[in-house]
Amino acid sequence: MKPGQYILLSCTILLLAATTYWLYIFRPFRNISEQHIVLQPLGNFPDKEAAWLLENIRITHPNSSLRTAIPFPPSAYYPTRQRYRADTILRYLRQAISGDTVIIGLSQKDISTSKNGKKDWGVMGLGYMPGKACVVSTFRLAKSNKREQFHKVVLHEFGHTQGLPHCLEKTCFMRDAEGGNPLDEETGFCNQCSSRLHHKCITSP
């Protein structure tokens, strides 16, 4: 086989593997492919990572789009910990969309909310439940497999916007991180969460 043919074959295999993986991960969402997802990078979030996420989300949500980056809302800044309040970001993002759209804020900076009796608790993401906005941050993710972990957080927060609460199943995407990073133990939505998502898909207007 010539080197050119070998490269072409390798690329095709890689593309097929990536597509199969994403179709598997997103299988509960197949019936809501009409839903519009807007990706909204915040601050200096890398273009390359936002484009990568869009490409993969479009496999199941072809109507999805990527907006140009905007600054964090100044009122979200929490100077004591030099990070951004996720709940303030959600209120800000919610105003930027209309109709059957979910907006996902993308952050490289650390984000936080009030949780477990703590006034300012660092999180990987936060989403309305149910609602139209969520925000995810790469700040607390492992460096070695950041992309893989990132998409799991995106799916978790998107799941919240679709009405899914936290799940006790340790391998489920809807597991509560509880201040840690259990993402590598998560393999997909459990049967119960999948069926709730599916039910939401076929009953939503």
- Footprint of Zn ion (CB under 5 A): 167, 169, 172, 174, 190, 193
Min dist. Cβ of residue 190 to Zn ion (A): 3
Q: Closer to Zn ion by CB, 93 or 193: give it.
A: 193
DSSP category for residue 172: B
Min dist. Cβ of residue 104 to Zn ion (A): 14
Min dist. Cβ of residue 97 to Zn ion (A): 21
Q: Closer to Zn ion by CB, 42 or 174: give it.
A: 174
Token digits of residue 138: 């790469």
Q: Closer to Zn ion by CB, 50 or 124: give it.
A: 124
Min dist. Cβ of residue 134 to Zn ion (A): 9
Beta-strand pair 65-66/111-115: unpaired
SS3 39: strand
SS3 66: strand
Q: How many residues does the chain have?
A: 205
Residues 65, 38 contacting (CB under 8 angstroms): yes
Quick one: the chain helix, strand, coil %, rounded to 5?
40, 20, 35
Q: Closer to Zn ion by CB, 57 or 174: give it.
A: 174
Min dist. Cβ of residue 172 to Zn ion (A): 3
Beta-strand pair 118-123/111-115: antiparallel
The radius of gyration of the chain's CA atoms, rounded to the nearest angstrom, is 17
Q: Closer to Zn ion by CB, 61 or 156: give it.
A: 156
Q: Closer to Zn ion by CB, 89 or 193: give it.
A: 193
Kindly write down the DSSP assignment for every residue of 95-145, as one continuous string: TT--SSEEEEEEESS-EEEEETTEEEEEESEEE-SSSSEEEEESTTS-STT
Min dist. Cβ of residue 155 to Zn ion (A): 11
